[in-house]
Amino acid sequence: MAPETVGGRTPNARITKAFDDKSKGLDRFGAVLGLTIVSVIGLSFFDISGENKGLERNLVSLLAAILVGITLATALRASGLSRRRQRVIDILIGLVVLGYATSIVAEKYVGEFRGSAAGVSGVIVTLSVAAPVVVVLRLLRHRRVTLATMLGAVSAYLLIGLAYFWLFFAIGNDHHFFTQTPQPSSSYMYFSLTTLTTVGYGDLTAQGNLGRLLANSEAVIGQVYLVTFVAMIVGLRVAEWRRDVDGDDEPVVGADDVQA
């Protein structure tokens, strides 16, 4: 398969190697958006933090890991990630689920068990950060702005909020992330979305240099994403609409056409 060109230039060979666009779920961003919304809603209502002790917490954590794992795997497949990398990620997601399942069994028989917490959190954080990046890379290769492109753009925006949720939560596992009293994990999602949209009610504030830096970076990334990437997609869609009205069928320069 010959490398695609964007604006007459061949993309970086390393990026081309990472994507083969052979996934059966390629550009199915409607499914990605639906799963992402469900993940955000679920993490907004259910507490998976250590403040909620016992079997209930572990079961909720296991369900959350399965849901988020499916969401991230679907997003990476929709982005055309190479099959070899997909297999590696599937194994990592399986290990995350296994880690939570192990915690349930271990806590039942030997008491509180947190031995795999650091590794599990690290894998989820890494995959969550990677998901919106690969989605955006795929959308940049669309020749025309379709419904799939629009759904993918919204999905990437929410995936950014989901990624920061896991970043905040990972910090909060070892230290108090908020200056306020210890909060349930649902507060991290609330804080992530209000920060991403720069609403900033002020009822929750990050403490420490790292927490504040991450909160600031999320606000900046959220705004830059909206005013640059989303604005670019809207501009291209308007240009296509004008060409359709004028009867000019010349395609936008880019990668292969996609269908919603």
Q: Is the pLDDT confidence value at 147 over 80?
A: yes
pLDDT in tens, 210-260: 999 999 999 999 999 999 998 889 888 888 888 878 765 555 444 444 444
Instruction: Look at residue 8 in the predicted model and tell me its pLDDT.
Output: 41
Question: Are 99 and 124 a contacting pair, CB within 8 Å?
Answer: no
SS3 58: helix
Backbone angles phi, psi at 78, to 5 degrees: -65, -25
Averaged confidence pLDDT in the chain: 83
- Band of residue 6 on the pLDDT scale cut at 50, 70, 90: very low
Mean pLDDT for 179-192 is 91
What is the rounded distance in angstroms from the CA atom of residue 200 to the CA atom of residue 205?
9
pLDDT at 139 over 80: yes
User: Rounded CA gap, 196 and 104, in Å?
Assistant: 33
Confidence tier at 151 by pLDDT (50, 70, 90): very high
The answer to whether the beta carbons of residues 214 and 222 sit under 8 Å apart is: no
Continuous H helices in the chain? 13-18, 29-45, 55-78, 83-110, 117-139, 147-174, 185-196, 209-224, 231-246
Of 57, 50, 62, 58, nearest to 183 by C-alpha is 50
**Confidence (pLDDT) at 112:** 53
